[in-house]
Amino acid sequence: MMEKKDLDLVLVPIGLAVMVSYHVWLLYRIRRHPKTTVLGINAINRVVWVKAMMSDAKNAILAVQTLRNNIMASTLLSTTAIMLSSLIVVLMTSNSVGISSGGEGYGGGLIHGNSSKLLLSIKFFAILVCFLTAFLLFVQSVRYYSHTGVLINVPLKNHAPTLTPEYVGRIINKGSYFWSLGMRAFYFSFPLVLWIFGPIPMFVSSIGMVFFLYFLDTSHDPVLSAEVQNVELV
């Protein structure tokens, strides 16, 4: 019979493999069949939106306000990520969780799995990596949204050969992709947080997270106009 300490060696890698495999599959769907995913449909419609904004100078204020809202959302999430990272660092260095005191396990026998303090420190470090990754991704999102705010207000009649609505659409889509990746880092942190309470909650939450994300990411009946169907994903 499998010992409690061996559950982490089996369930945790399987849970992580399930989540990574799902995102590999999602990336394939976005690249090959974008109109069957929410991310792909949104990327196509952002290009159409950029063309509409740049075709009329009267839309400049609307475009800037929309991008400002996106920047504020990314800024809020990046601030949240760095605050959570700071909290994890405090917990890792605090004697209250017993990580630095070494030796005995934690949880008082309630953790059905490896409860060594060394593994606890690894758990906190994995969560810290998720939050720091999310912070960096949201910062990059702000960067691309800021670039878009400048480029989208250049009138079409004054365009250089390299500045087209399609190019601006690629820039804003990069900002959105970084925002989505930052959210994925938050999603990955949830099973890792539950890993503190044992490998079984972590494994169950990983499976549940994949089902949850599947219904959020896929679009089985996309309603696309003829104009949008002819737009290539950038």
When pLDDT is averaged across residues 46-69 and rounded to a whole number, the result is 89
Average pLDDT score over the chain: 84
Looking at residue 108, its pLDDT comes to: 53
Spatial contact of 152 and 67, defined as CB atoms under 8 Å apart: yes
pLDDT (tens digit, 9 = 90+) per residue, 172-216?
Answer: 999 999 999 999 999 999 999 999 888 999 999 999 999 999 999
Q: Which has the minimum average pLDDT: 30-44, 98-112, 158-172?
A: 98-112
pLDDT (tens digit, 9 = 90+) per residue, 113-141?
Answer: 677 788 888 999 999 999 999 999 999 99
Looking at residue 15, its pLDDT comes to: 94
Burial code (b: 16+ CB inside 10 Å, e: under 16) for 21-55 equals ebbeebeebbeeebebbbbbbebbebbebbbebbe
Looking at residue 225, its pLDDT comes to: 44
CA distances from 56 to 51, 140, 157 (A): 9, 28, 10
Looking at residue 119, its pLDDT comes to: 84
> Residue for token digits 């990059």?
140
The most confident of the ranges 148-152, 181-185, 229-233 is 181-185
Looking at residue 106, its pLDDT comes to: 55
Spatial contact of 44 and 35, defined as CB atoms under 8 Å apart: yes
Report CA torsion sign: 61, 64, 69, 75: negative
Q: Where are the domains of the chain?
A: 60-95+117-217
User: Rounded CA gap, 20 and 34, in Å?
Assistant: 19
pTM of the model: 0.85
When pLDDT is averaged across residues 159-177 and rounded to a whole number, the result is 85
Q: Which residue has the higher pLDDT, 209 or 7?
A: 209
pLDDT (tens digit, 9 = 90+) per residue, 72-116?
Answer: 999 999 999 999 999 999 888 875 454 444 445 555 556 666 777
When pLDDT is averaged across residues 160-169 and rounded to a whole number, the result is 80
Looking at residue 227, its pLDDT comes to: 46
Q: How confident is the model at residue 8 (pLDDT cuts 50, 70, 90)?
A: confident
